Amino acid sequence: MRDIAIIGGGLVGLCAALALRHPVRNLTVIEAADLGKAQSGGLAARSIALSASSVQIFRALGIWPSIEACAAPIRHIHVSARERWGVTRLDAADYELDALGYVIENNDLTRILLAAVAAADNVDLEDRADFDSISQSKSGVNLEYRGEDGIKQIEAAIALIADGARSQARDALGIGHRVVDYGQAVVISNVEVGKPQVATAYERFTSQGPLAMLPLGGKTYACVWTMEQKSAVATGELGDDGFRAALQDCFGFRLGLIERVGQRFSVPIHRIQAEALQQGRCLLVGNAANALHPVAGQSFNLALRDVACLYELLVDQDVAKIDAESVGAICTEYESRRKREQNRVIGYGDGLVTLFSNELPLFAQARAAGLGLLDLLPSLKAQAALAGMGMTFGGNRLLRGHL
């Protein structure tokens, strides 16, 4: 019998395995994809922004030096609205931080996490393993999955559901979910610019949605451009010259000329929220619990704080010896703690979507005034910065940077 089984071996599942491993525990991670398959890089790579709270968690897990070597810091953030006068600037030095966050290519982060999992002798990783079924008893969780050698079964004391927004395991448990369609899609591409600004990220709000330009080092930026779905499809299908011209027109010339653009990806935006975060001995983490609008860049960072909460609740416990009543209490406490933060982050993100994706005159004027006012009021700006960094939800060990 395994102590903990994790369904989903993406970024969140791998992080959960690293955080919850312990000398008295054994873990199994089940992932459908082939994790050994090479990923593309360069201008075709996908990237992820790490908040300051996530950096603390990776420090606690002992893998931050490896991540930092591949990541580009964000020390300055410039927030503006297209064709409006309001601007807000955030600087890491104002909060005595080396960086407000970092940007790293997904394949680099995956490679580092896989190496760390491989070095952990009490974590088994089963990839190319398709989830099949899940059932529970008073003593454990029974899982079936289809591997290369046929159907396999394992039993675990606790199961974490980390298989993404369209989670099959969540559905198999009978946990419902709510879907909010924003009528938007995000176009993602890496671009090279003529005048890169060192360690500076840009968030530019337009009538259709936000446009983020995140530094990847050198002349390369990750472009994350939100717009209406029809516009996103059309924009994603433009040739390189057409896309470069459209992006230049929307973003402006703060980074000089956009010289090269990479492959484009267009992804519809939905917010998916599970009706519950636990059932019996099963707990939802990451996008299986909440998949968010990208406007605040919080989905992965919020997921890491799910993991940090679980670490706190299970710290030093011999999971195999926890009785059913105690497991129930832990699961209930996890849901209570995480719901509070998740609802606040969801409200914050939806508020930004409403304010910054609406061109009614009242909203446009409030937007411009709000950005200008925020830049002049240090206390309000500090609150916004700390919320974005995930530093307003402290109180556990991983967020303090140590186990």
Other CB atoms within 10 Å distance of the CB of residue 369: 13
List Cβ neighbours of 111 (8 Å cut-off, separation of 6 or more).
none
**In this predicted model, what pLDDT tens digit does every residue of 267-324 receive, in sequence order?**
898 889 999 999 999 999 999 999 887 766 678 999 999 999 999 999 888 888 888 8
DSSP-based three-state secondary structure for 127 = coil
Identify whether the C-beta of residue 8 lies closer than 8 Å to the C-beta of residue 163.
Answer: yes
Asked if the model's pLDDT at residue 393 lies above 80, the reply is no
Kindly report the average pLDDT of the chain as a whole number: 86
Q: Is residue 229 part of a domain?
A: no
User: What CA–CA distance (Å, rounded) separates 123 from 17?
Assistant: 7
pTM of the model: 0.89
Assigned domain for 255 exists: no
Domain that holds residue 77: 2-179+270-400
| Inside any domain, residue 289 | yes
Quick one: 125 exposed, middle or buried, by C-beta within 10 A (0-12, 13-18, 19+)? Answer: buried
pLDDT of residue 44: 64
- Is residue 377 scored above 60 in pLDDT? no
The domain spanning residue 9 has which CATH number?
3.50.50.60
Nearest C-alpha neighbor of 274 from the set 265, 257, 256, 287? 287
Provide the number of structural domains found in the chain: 1
Query: What is the identity of the amino acid at 277?
Result: L
Question: Over 90: is that where the pLDDT of 386 sits?
Answer: no
Decide if 261 is inside a domain: no
Question: Is residue 120 domain-resident?
Answer: yes
Q: What is the pLDDT of residues 335-352, one digit of tens each?
A: 999 988 888 877 767 666
Is 264 domain-assigned?
A: no
pLDDT in tens, 142-166: 999 998 888 999 999 999 999 999 9
Residue 75 is predicted with a pLDDT of 95
Over the stretch 16-51, which tens digit does the pLDDT of each residue have?
Answer: 999 999 888 999 999 999 987 756 666 767 899 999
For residue 207, being part of any structural domain is answered with no
Contact 167, 175 (CB under 8 A): no
In a domain, 126, yes or no: yes
